[in-house]
Structure 1
Amino acid sequence: MEGVLQGGPWSFDNQMLIVQRVQLGVQIENIPLQHAEFWVQVHNLPTGLMLEKVGKALGNYIGLFVEYDKNNNQGHLQKVGDPV
């Protein structure tokens, strides 16, 4: 289950498929499916700006910053959540 939730975004028949964990007893119509997370790669960013705080600012400008990939040696991958 975690692999599906963390591994997206997913598509089916060329349409975005938004998945979310469902709590037992919750009515399906009460589950908000309006948010998807994407990894965003920024190109041509000057080396001096490849910082986590810059990534957070860019992520929040695009949508809602979620996560910064500290293991990326080029320092320009970030996960951003955006309403769909």
Structure 2
Amino acid sequence: MEMTKVYAGKLRAIGYDAAKRLLRIELEDGSALEHANVGASIWHALQNAGAQWSYYRDHIEEEFTARRVSTPSVTGGKNPLDDLFG
């Protein structure tokens, strides 16, 4: 699944598998969730939303079954180089 990097609220990447109707989101803490049975219209609306994090929370988070597919990294999603160059 191709992921698109985003910087919207806690979202850091979003991707969609149309054949499986599967939406994957990656969060700022490094964790990832996959939502099942998401239609293409919802995916397109998320991609084009002016406030993607708000759209996700309002229209996807509680409406579609999700499963955690990864856990937060030790650095909590923070790039270790941020301390040097941030």
Q: Quick check: TM above 0.5?
A: no
Shorter-chain TM-score category?
under 0.3
Q: Which structure is larger by alpha-carbon Rg, 1 or 2?
A: 1
Report the TM-score, using the length of structure 2 for normalisation: 0.23
